[in-house]
Structure formats: structure tokens, C-alpha cells
Amino acid sequence: MVSVVGLAISAIGCLTGCATIRVAQARSTEALLAAAGFEKQRIDAADIEGVDVTAPYRLVSRSRNGALQYSYADPEGCRCVYIGGAKEYAQYRRLAAERRLDEERWRAAEDVWDRDSWGLWD
């Protein structure tokens, strides 16, 4: 019985952790989309016909009126969808690449700092 309770608590903890990570990732993505010029619309707005809200937390492309349209739906957090075109998507990709480089530089700096700091204790 104790192991079943422990397993249940562990499962709840994992699911909560995964949900927390998804929320953080969604906020990060949404910040990049907004900075790139994507337009934010409420999901319950009548204007979002043709937007794929069935693929939440994924940037989806489709052709609309002969042009590519990109959408990113967050039905749980902001209950909104971000919509942009090719120009906004290119800007989003550039910003995302810059963020990845910044994170890699930060991790590399932390590794050097950790290595240098622990050198004193060897």
C-alpha cells in the first residue's frame, strides 16, 4: 500500500513538474512571438477562423489567401493565439537563435566559473 501511495505522489509530482515546464516554455515562446511582431488575439474572438487551435503550444503554418500564415495557440495560459506572416516568422527565428546563443554562452560561462571556483577546494 505504501509503495502505491509513493508511486502516486511521484506521478503527481512529475506531472506538475511537466506542466510547470510547459507553462514556462509557453511564456518564453509567447514573449519571442510578441517581440517579433506577431499579433495576439483572444481564442474566443470571432476573428480567428482558420487558425489551428487544435495544435496548442506549436507554431503552425498554413496558406491563407495565397500567403503563409503562422499561428501559435495557448488555450490554457493566455487563452490566446499569436498570428503572423512570413516577416514576423523570420524575425521570430532570428530572436530564437539569438536567445539560444545567449543561453549557450551563459552555460559556458557558468562551466568556467564552476571549474575555477572548485579549483580552490581541490
pLDDT score recorded for residue 49: 60
pLDDT score recorded for residue 106: 83
pLDDT band, very low/low/confident/very high, at 72 (cuts 50, 70, 90): very high
Pairwise pLDDT comparison (64 vs 69), residue with the higher score: 69
Q: Which residues contact 116 (CB under 8 A, 6 or more apart)?
A: none
Q: Domain range holding 12?
A: 2-119
**How many domains does the chain contain in total?**
1
Pairwise pLDDT comparison (104 vs 87), residue with the higher score: 87
pLDDT score recorded for residue 39: 96
| Overall pTM surpassing 0.75 (yes/no) | no
The Cα–Cα gap between 65 and 83 comes to 14
User: C-alpha cell of 102?
Assistant: 545567449
pLDDT score recorded for residue 83: 94
Q: Is the pLDDT of residue 85 over 70?
A: yes
Rama region for 37: left / alpha / beta (φ>0; ψ in -120 to 50; rest): left
The pLDDT tens digits of the residues spanning 10-51 come to 555 554 455 555 566 778 899 999 999 999 998 875 455 656
Residues pairing with 74 in the sheet: 80
Q: Are the C-beta atoms of 80 and 42 separated by less than 8 Å?
A: yes
- State mean pLDDT over 62-76: 90
pLDDT score recorded for residue 116: 60
